[in-house]
Structure 1
Amino acid sequence: MVYDACMKQMLSERVYTTIRDEILSGGFAPGAALKPQELAGAYGVSLAVVREALVRLVGDGLADRLTNRGFAVPTPSDQRWQDLAEARATFEPAVLRLSVQRGDLEWESRVRAAHHRLARTPAYEKGAWSIAHREFHRALLDGCGNAVMLETFDRLWVASELVRVWATDLAPPRDHAGEHRALEEAALAGEVDRAAELLAAHVSLTAAGLRG
């Protein structure tokens, strides 16, 4: 019984990760139906395993649960992305303020290291760049010392990653490297107001790209 439960959990995690990566990479187009029966057949797992994975993706904001119609990939036109950007542009600068005010030498070292890695990771290495990107933003905020705030950031980040992927294709080119460099410099210089303003603008530009 315990073995079966563990096996189901492992399969669900694998399917969840596979579908998540497919959505973020564009393997499933915006608005595409995520049909549990078809996915179960494609991945060679039970319907229960697929449904569990899809429910997790709904919780992450990477899938929609449709009334009497199963699941689907969200679409760029959804108002939620503007709401999400507004939430991040309000929440994250406030956390960054605390981080800059409370951050110690170890925090400064983490920010420098995370920015160095991000700056040295080519943008065309999408998977590696996405990881380095998240680690830099997380490092900026983790000087706040508030676990609840950092957990909230983690949840918002997962949902907003889909927005970033879409905006990359739809929005005009941006100087991401310059934006990140300015954030690092302002934060480590203790320029609380400037760092917060830069982060709010940085986050808002991503969602703005979806509006064309």
Structure 2
Amino acid sequence: MPDADIYLSLKQRLTSNGFTHGSKLRAEALRREFDCSASTVREVLFRLSTVGLVDFKEQRGFRVPERSPEKLIELTHMRVLLEGEGTVLSIRNGGVAWEARLTAAHHQLSHIEKRIHGTDDPTDLVEIWFSSEREFHQTLISACGSETLKQMHGRIYAQFRQQLMVSDRRFNFISENIQHHAEILDAALSGDESLTRKKIHDHLARHLTGTTLGE
């Protein structure tokens, strides 16, 4: 398997409950799983450590970051800032093409969330929800005109999702999410910049106490 595919596979698992928080990432076991060299695995794990998804310490090796209420609050503040600014810039610069992409991304996410809301066992919908939720929030900022902002948001979003990868699988929040995403879409399409910032903040506000880690 190419290095890039190993990187993407491990990144996906690190942000969607594929590993336990605090667990050791053993290069030898991963080498066998991906049928590659141990040096390739270590290089990929080092790359993941540079974006905050893996902890590395001498003598201790690689580990999945622990859950941390303080870190969740910090990441949430960064998401509010980056998504608010990025979406406002997209409103100004994106035009009809961006509005169409955003509407399409929301339609897909809304469909999945309504399916989850209507079932007792959403297990089969978990992975597609992770993907659709990420796509909607990335599309919000996609026309901001700043690659730096988008790259920083991508890192923050992945770390944020990693902190919540256990609690978010329970979907206790999904009915609220449906409403929040619709309100963000409506505000963005209306061109109301201050309302859009507020709706993004309101959507993420439940994480600003750090208590969502205990759900």
CA shift for structure 1 position 171: 8.4
CA shift for structure 1 position 19: 2.8
Question: Which deviates the most, 111-120 or 181-190?
Answer: 111-120
TM-score computed with the length of structure 2 as normaliser: 0.82
Which residue of structure 1 aligns with residue 84 of structure 2? Answer: 93
Conserved 8 A contact 1:167-1:206: no
CA distance in 2, matches of 1:191, 1:48: 51
CA distance in 1, matches of 2:96, 2:18: 42
Please give the per-residue CA displacement for 1:98-136, whole angstroms capped at 9, x wherever unaligned.
Answer: 222333111111111111111122443122222221221
CA distance in 2, matches of 1:143, 1:43: 36
Please give the per-residue CA displacement for 1:41-71, whole angstroms capped at 9, x wherever unaligned.
Answer: 3433211011011112212322111232001
Distance 1:126 1:90, change over 3 A: same
Conserved 8 A contact 2:87-2:140: yes
Deviant stretches of 4+, over 6 Å? none
Residue 65 of structure 1 pairs with residue 49 of structure 2: no
CA distance in 1, matches of 2:89, 2:33: 47
SS at match of 1:65: strand
Q: How does 1:100-115 map to 2 (within 5 A)?
A: 100-115=91-106
CA distance in 2, matches of 1:189, 1:23: 36
Conserved 8 A contact 1:111-1:136: yes
Which residue of structure 2 aligns with residue 163 of structure 1? Answer: 163
CA distance in 1, matches of 2:101, 2:126: 22
Q: How does 1:30-69 map to 2 (within 5 A)?
A: 30-69=21-60
CA distance in 1, matches of 2:83, 2:194: 13
Counting aligned pairs with the same residue, the percent is 27
Q: How does 1:166-205 map to 2 (within 5 A)?
A: 166-169=166-169, 173-174=173-174, 175-205=176-206
Conserved 8 A contact 2:22-2:66: yes
Distance 1:59 1:81, change over 3 A: farther
For structure 1, the residue ranges without an aligned partner over 5 or more in a row are 1-9
Distance 1:67 1:79, change over 3 A: farther
The CA RMSD measured in Å over matched residues stands at 2.4
Q: How many residues align?
A: 203
